[in-house]
Chain A
Amino acid sequence: MVETLQNLTHGFAIALSPTVMVYAFAGCVIGTLVGMLPGVGPLAGISLLLPASYGLNATTAIVMLAGIYYGAMYGGSTTSILMRIPGEAASVMTCIDGYAMTRKGRAGPALAIAAIGSYIAGTASVVGLMLLAPPLAAFALSFGPPEYTALLLLGLMVLAYMSGGSVPKSLSMAALGLLLGMIGIDPMTGYSRFSYGVVELGDGIGIVPVAVGLFGVSEILLTAGQAEMPKVIKPKLRDLMPSRQEWNDSVWPIGRGTVLGFLIGIVPGSAHIISSFVSYAVERRLSKHPEQFGQGAVAGVAGPESANNSATSGALVPMLALGVPSGPIPAVMMAAMMVHGVSPGPMLIHQQPELFWGVIASMYVGNVVLLVLNLPLVGVFVNLLRIPYPIMYPAILVFSVVGVYAVNGSVVDVWIMAVMGALGYLLRKFDFETAPIVLGVVLAPMLEMSLRQSLALSSGSYTVFFTRPIAATMLGAGLVLLLFSLRPLLAKGADWRQRFGLQEESTLEKEEEK
């Protein structure tokens, strides 16, 4: 412990040096903007700025890129809450209750709770990263392909169980997303599946155009041109403070989201996305008023936003401690480290202590910078609602187009966004949820790969999923959830979740329809 504190003190000496501070601040600001702009996620932001970091030393470069990463998590909530457009994929769940709060005139408190929750989760998870990295990394290291397969299936079952209304509808949307995730070259055989000669589809369809299309463009399509435009909420700056009740309702979701996000973060996968889905599901399950979810429950904002920020630090654990990137973003950051001659892995802490502890300390500093930066800016961004929607939506559309194009520099992504926008529009008209599609697209390649690797390891025997304790436990839990989900259907009884379920359209909208 004493050694840890000494190392941290050394790290703060590095992080608080003027040069590192400037780049940490720049990374946080850019990250916030990147997170706020629809379609430009942290992956695109880090990828775009990677060449700009070549001229910096390794510590400064990683500090800046890490700042972009967690800055984007802070910023991603703003457009989700104000416009129902996820700035980045991890903010998808925030759209549901965040936007519902906006419709109820509580945009300011939603933004403030998101920023404060992000700060608490970000700071606490850095403590976790610092103190618990070695044992937690060892736990994640014990996961083989069967455990990943079981974990991914469990994630889908959790989603189906927690989603509202109709389990078959949720599972059909998840299957649709998984099918979309099958597009591209099969990594084990080299077959190009469902790409119809389009070279850009070889790598599969990206999460960014899918998420922006399903959530952003479909919202524009549904809202623009209505005979009576939805009433634009214009909260005043003094209304930013959450009420006492909102504070009380947020405390535990922030705490649970922090722990949950960090634990999910250390498991390889798109942790920050999955963590926000799981956190939302947990909060609704534990809530005394689950019927409020989907209609502006503050816990539906506090939990997922805390979880995705916490997962950011968790995702750095395997990368820094083991040299194993836990997702595409840590992979890009790892590439940046290798460009600078640094090899992430178990020896990093001993061979490059100034880098490891400098990055850790800069994350503490960065979270403070982001809170100071974001709370005043909350008021600025609330002003966006004062722009008339007929002028606002072309601007959102332009940001979506350029953001989607920027990821790969390909118009194919713009086409995918348009198609997904049309699909999302039709699905929402027919009362289907679109969130499971996004999760399906993310999970599909991992699920297929881990399943086939598991079978390769076990010479084709499916018993590998039942003889390994962790995998068997997770599959058992998934099966129980599935049976519970289907019980109302099989018993033809009333499904209580129809009253409490995840509703993308708020009651306000439905009342307006009537």
Chain B
Amino acid sequence: MLTRDRIGGAALVLFALAVMWEDRAFPLGRVSKPGPGYMPMLLAGILVVMAILVIWTGGRSPALRTLKWPEAKHAIAILAGCAFAALAMERIGYRLTVILLVGFLLWVVERKGAAVTIVTALGLALGTFYVFGTLLQVPLPLGPGDF
């Protein structure tokens, strides 16, 4: 039966095997004198063993079909927002990025009214820039017209 633990364990085995594959690029060294590839290989091996144990004992965990994803659309939208922030921050500046990010989350995702969206987006963008950029002197990226 497909259970949460078995699927999770299988994913970890695949990840560990991928690490082992990538680790071929580094010298393993010897047991008495480990090279840069030794520790990752050892840890990936431990991960494989533990993940197999998770699969082996995973029969008692809840069935995969019981897993529900009601928040998945929101989660994808929020992750997309994070990706947008990472891509845009050094291109269009911190304040513009935050305005667009918060605007997207409130206006599009949460369907809030225009007033709430504008006030929150502007407040967060300008407020956090003042605290971090001005008071704490974090070099936050500037956008067009030094905004």
For A51, the closest partner residue in chain B by CB is B137
Q: Assess whether B138 is in contact with A48, with CB atoms less than 8 Å apart.
A: yes
Q: Verify B36–A394 contact, CB threshold 8 A.
A: no
Which residues of the other chain, B, contact A191 by a CB distance below 8 angstroms?
26-27, 36-37
- A365 lies within 8 A of chain B by Cβ: no
- B-facing residues in A212-265 (Cβ within 8 Å): 217, 220-227
Is B35 a contact partner of A189 (Cβ separation < 8 A)? yes
B63 at the A interface (CB under 8 A)? no
- The 8 A CB mask of A5-34 against B (1 = contact, 0 = none) is 000000000000000000000000000000
- CB contacts under 8 Å to A, within B37-64, are 37, 39-40, 43-44, 46-47, 50-51, 53-54, 57, 61-62
Are B5 and A430 closer than 8 Å at their CB atoms?
yes
Distance of A194 Cα from B116 Cα, bound (Å): 44
Contact A390 B86 (CB under 8 A): no
Q: State the majority secondary structure of interface residues on A.
A: helix
Which of chain A's residues has its CB closest to B76's CB? A221
State in angstroms the CA–CA spacing of A402 and B26 once bound together.
35
A78 CB, min distance to chain B CBs, angstroms? 16
Q: Does any Cβ of B come within 8 Å of A193's Cβ?
A: yes
Q: Is the CB of B50 within 8 A of A171?
A: yes
Of the four ranges (under 10, 10 to 19, 20 to 34, 35 or more), the interface on chain A belongs to 35 or more
Q: How many residues of B contact A (CB 8 A)?
A: 72
- List 10 interface pairs A-B (beta carbons < 8 Å), by A numbering: A172-B47, A172-B51, A179-B16, A193-B26, A193-B37, A224-B75, A391-B106, A395-B124, A415-B86, A417-B82
Q: Which residues of B contact A (CB under 8 A)?
A: 4-5, 7-9, 12, 15-16, 19, 22, 26-27, 30-37, 39-40, 43-44, 46-47, 50-51, 53-54, 57, 61-62, 67-71, 73-75, 77-79, 81-83, 85-87, 89-90, 94, 98, 101-102, 105-106, 109-110, 112, 116, 120, 124-125, 128, 132, 136-140
If A48-B138, A398-B124, A402-B132 are given as contacts, then 11 extra A-B residue pairs at C-beta distance below 8 Å, sorted by A number, are: A49-B136, A191-B36, A221-B78, A222-B71, A397-B81, A397-B82, A401-B82, A418-B83, A429-B4, A456-B33, A513-B68
Residues of A within 8 A of B (CB): 48-49, 51-52, 166, 168-169, 171-172, 175-176, 178-179, 182, 186, 188-189, 191, 193-194, 217, 220-227, 390-391, 393-395, 397-399, 401-402, 405-406, 409, 411, 414-415, 417-418, 421-422, 425, 427, 429-432, 447-448, 451-452, 455-456, 459-462, 489, 513
